[in-house]
Structure 1
Amino acid sequence: MGWREKLHEIIYEADTPAGKLFDIILLIAILASIVLVMLESINSFDTKYHTFLNISEWIITILFTLEYIARIISVKKPIRYIFSFYGIIDFLSTVPKYISLILAGTHALIALRALRLLRVFRILKLARYLGASNHLANAIKASRAKIAVFLFAVLIASVIFGTIMYMVEGEENGFTNIPKSVYWCIVTLTTVGFGDIAPATPLGQFIATIIMILGYGIIAVPTGIVSAEYTKATNTDDNGLSDEEINILEEVHLNTQCCANCLEETHRDGAEYCFKCGCKLHHD
């Protein structure tokens, strides 16, 4: 096994001791960098420990830069990694500190490194359970027409009630115009209730009460729509498999072995070739 293959095994796979150690250190570094950015946003803390925070961020940024370069040189097709989902996230989480040398304040974008925590699914071997998220995505997609009609109805109701409140309360009670009254109605209807505007007349308070009660019912509608579609999605998957067949497939043991050619993951234990491109997985 050459050095590139060994490097690929350490960086892209979490089944080996070295790979697990690398990923654990990576996650700790990601969490540390996010904490540092948060602490730096606190003026009193930044004033006292600015030098420490800045040096720490640069150390982590340099480590991430070296890791990004290592990921590129350890795969057969670097372009595939660079423009992949994780490749773009890795790049965006590395460059903010460098950009901050030119544009002040952009280092706060380092918080994008939180997206790198998605790798925890691979490290903890949770990828096999991501099928549930696909069902949820399909359910939301199938519900989009019904939800769009529902939102349109809510918008119309908000305009009507907002206009009524403008006529009932008037400018003296904070409802200075119809758009602001519609804003108040939406805030009330969604049960957020900022409290910056409140009705003062008995009639206005009565109308506000009706809107609040409607708000609780409105919350349940999209939930019911998506739940119904999700139930359909879980009963039968995209290929028409039954629940029993799906359960059998979910019991197949998968690992985190990553193909050096196409970067495909979640291969079966003992697999010698990538199920997507056919490239050999194990190197002698």
Structure 2
Amino acid sequence: MLEPGGVGLRTRLFQIIFESDTKAGKAFDIALAALIVLSVAVVMLDSVAAYHERYGLLFYGIEWLVTVLFTIELGVRIYCLQTPGRYLKSFYGVIDVLSILPTWLALFFPGAHMLVVVRLLRTLRLIRVLEMMSLAGQGRLLLEALRRSRGQITLFLFVVFMVVIIFSTLLYMIEPPEAGFTSIPKSVYWGIVTLTTVGYGDITPITPMGQFLSVLIMLTGYSIIALPVGVFSAEVINTLRAERYSDESCPGCGHARHEPDARYCKLCGTWLNEERRDPRQTS
């Protein structure tokens, strides 16, 4: 846990920058998020040739102004902390450093300033300000479900990749080079695009057999879309059940799925724990 590096000014700065339970802290986080959105919007607009030609100098000035402010803010964060090294190694510390590097690197590597879009990650601090911690808990739930289903999903992706390789190789053997299937890797690209039902159209089979195989792989793509969704949904349900029920087993029948505050087994009525036993039930 981060702590202020001293009393007085450093403590006051710490409360404003790292805490959001005060008006000053909330205002600071909201102002910081507004600057982040402004800088990202400037970079996006600057990539449009017409806007760059007309407002390029304005965009350049805004980007450097925001970068200097973020650099000063990072220095103040380090100044008011007791252990700044610990903060710089944390997730938010790394993001804070990365958010100012692109503009400075642009002095030596033109175009690097486009990477300032990483600043959007800093808006995660708004979770505290907007009181969205319940959403953070739901995000943790989804990550836990994803972790539990990683084996099934990995197997599914492996099978899909094998299907793509087989179909793509067949198309490479059937289709002439002028159709675009000039190599197996190029055919694999077509297979992935077709299986995911995207269909860019830059490579298309022209023979009847190739078109028939294309239909098969497209139908296969539609049929397998629901598989990973089903696996993930099942793991979400299992995770919810695991958090809802305790692991305490009934000493009478061995049933292990009880509410956390349950005192009796819902199947046989046995006391689950002597410490929870109702004194009025004792003889």
TM-score range, shorter chain: 0.7 to 0.9
Residues 202-213 of structure 1: pairs in structure 2 closer than 5 A: 202-213=208-219
- Taking the aligned partners of 1:176 and 1:66, their CA distance within structure 2 comes to 55
Partner SS, residue 93 of structure 1: helix
RMSD of Structure 2 on Structure 1 (CA): 2.1
Q: Highest relative contact order (Cα 8 Å, sep 6+), 1 or 2?
A: 1
- Taking the aligned partners of 1:109 and 1:32, their CA distance within structure 2 comes to 14
Show the counterpart of 1:185: 191
Show the counterpart of 1:2: 8
Show the counterpart of 1:217: 223
Paired residue type of 2:49: N
Whether 1:50 aligns to 2:56 is yes
Decide whether the 8 Å contact of 1:235 with 1:243 is kept in 2: no
How many Å apart are 1:201 and its aligned residue? 2.0
The match for 1:108 among 78, 92, 114 is: 114
Distance 1:195-1:48 versus aligned 2 partners, 3 A rule = same
Residues 81-120 of structure 1: pairs in structure 2 closer than 5 A: 81-120=87-126
Distance 1:9-1:190 versus aligned 2 partners, 3 A rule = same
Partner SS, residue 236 of structure 1: helix
- Taking the aligned partners of 1:18 and 1:243, their CA distance within structure 2 comes to 45
Deviations 1:247-275 (A, max 9, x none): xxxxxxxxxxxxxxxxxxxxxxxxxxxxx
The match for 1:235 among 241, 250, 257 is: 241
- Taking the aligned partners of 1:114 and 1:194, their CA distance within structure 2 comes to 30
- Taking the aligned partners of 1:128 and 1:25, their CA distance within structure 2 comes to 23
- Taking the aligned partners of 2:233 and 2:172, their CA distance within structure 1 comes to 37
- Taking the aligned partners of 2:258 and 2:211, their CA distance within structure 1 comes to 51
Query: Aligned residue pairs: how many?
Result: 246
Instruction: State percent identity of aligned pairs.
Output: 45
- Taking the aligned partners of 1:202 and 1:114, their CA distance within structure 2 comes to 49
Q: TM-score, normalised by structure 1?
A: 0.81
Paired residue type of 2:223: G
Whichever of the two has the greater Rg, that structure is 2
What stretches of structure 2 of length at least 5 have no aligned partner? 1-6, 248-256, 262-283
What stretches of structure 1 of length at least 5 have no aligned partner? 247-284
Whether 1:133 aligns to 2:147 is no
How many Å apart are 1:144 and its aligned residue? 1.4
Q: TM-score, normalised by structure 2?
A: 0.81
Paired residue type of 2:78: I
How many Å apart are 1:234 and its aligned residue? 1.3
